[in-house]
């Protein structure tokens, strides 16, 4: 039987779906319920469902990034979105990311069963562990995730930032995000983080009033010596030498 997982921040909806749909008629069984993206991601990794019905407009969640994360890490899983968010462009973006069906609440029973028929039909044609072929016009969810990760790193690089922090933001495992960064950017997480920090440090060094130690601290290095080592490794010269070469006329 195909395993089904239901995610919605409204408990009455997931419990209602579990009861009103004749899952067995479609060779399906609901294996878990969840109320948000965090518990949903945990349940997905634990149960590895074949089919997911989920809301994408839950408090504090980035629905499109969540979808991209799910599609990127679990490409075989079929996803149907159930939402009250009536935005056509948002729906189109979700579909381009590989969502099988985008259903508006309250959904009619025939819409739910049609979505279920479609998704089980796709799974019937996919041998176990086989990933679906990319579809024309679809947006690569992994490329989307890499862009989201890059933007998050750039915005938060001055903080103590770990691979887990960025993976959580992208709703994927550390392992999957690390693999994506290496594949798409040919960089590890820390290579990317250091490159972003050094790039921002060079911008800050345009201000002659800032000492090198202050620049290092502002871009996320508690240890100036470590910043200096990283900077020289990436730029070929020390931070002070770089400043003299590029900002000497200021």
DSSP-derived letter for residue 173 is -
Question: pLDDT tens-digit profile of 148-175?
Answer: 999 999 999 999 999 999 999 988 999 9
DSSP-derived letter for residue 108 is P
- Output the CATH code of domain 2-124: 3.40.50.2300
CATH class of domain segment(s) 141-247? mainly alpha
Higher-scoring residue by pLDDT: 217, 84: 217
Mean pLDDT for 182-200 is: 95
Question: pLDDT tens-digit profile of 5-35?
Answer: 999 888 888 888 899 999 999 999 999 998 8
Q: What is d(CA 149, CA 194) in angstroms, rounded to the nearest whole number?
A: 14
Residue pair 70/25 in contact (Cβ under 8 Å)? The answer is no
Query: Buried b / exposed e across 9-44, counting CB within 10 Å, b at 16+?
Result: beeebbeebeeebebeebebebbbbbbbbeebbebb
Question: pLDDT tens-digit profile of 82-109?
Answer: 887 777 777 888 888 888 998 888 788 8
What strands, in cross-sheet order, belong to the sheet with 2-7?
A: 28-34, 2-7, 51-54, 78-83, 101-104
State whether the Cα torsion 161-166-167-169 is positive or negative: positive
Q: What is d(CA 142, CA 121) in angstroms, rounded to the nearest whole number?
A: 25
Q: How confident is the model at residue 131 (pLDDT cuts 50, 70, 90)?
A: low
Domain ranges of the chain: 2-124, 141-247
């Amino acid at each position: 039987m195909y395993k089904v997982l239901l995610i919605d921040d409204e408990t009455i909806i997931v419990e209602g779906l579990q009861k009103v749909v004749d899952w067995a008629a479609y060779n399906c069984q609901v294996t878990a319920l969840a109320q948000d993206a965090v518990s949903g991601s945990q349940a997905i990794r634990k149960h590895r469902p074949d089919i997911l019905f989920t809301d994408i407009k839950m408090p504090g969640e980035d629905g499109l990034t969540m979808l991209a994360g799910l599609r990127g890490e679990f490409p075989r899983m079929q996803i149907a979105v159930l939402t009250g968010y009536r935005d056509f462009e948002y729906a189109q973006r979700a579909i381009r990311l590989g969502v099988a069906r985008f259903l508006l609440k309250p959904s009619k029973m025939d819409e739910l069963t049609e979505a279920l028929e479609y998704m089980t039909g796709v799974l019937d044609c996919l041998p176990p562990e086989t990933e679906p072929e990319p579809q024309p016009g679809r947006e690569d969810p992994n490329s989307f995730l890499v862009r989201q990760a890059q933007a998050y790193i750039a915005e938060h690089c001055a903080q103590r930032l770990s691979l887990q922090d960025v993976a959580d933001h992208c709703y994927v495992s550390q392992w999957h995000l690390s693999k994506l960064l290496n594949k798409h950017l040919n960089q590890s997480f820390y290579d990317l983080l250091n490159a972003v920090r050094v790039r921002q440090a060079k911008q800050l060094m345009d201000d002659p009033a800032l000492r090198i130690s202050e620049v290092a601290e502002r871009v996320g290095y508690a240890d100036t010596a470590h910043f200096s080592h990283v900077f020289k490794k990436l730029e070929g010269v020390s931070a002070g030498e770089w400043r003299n070469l590029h900002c000497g006329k200021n």
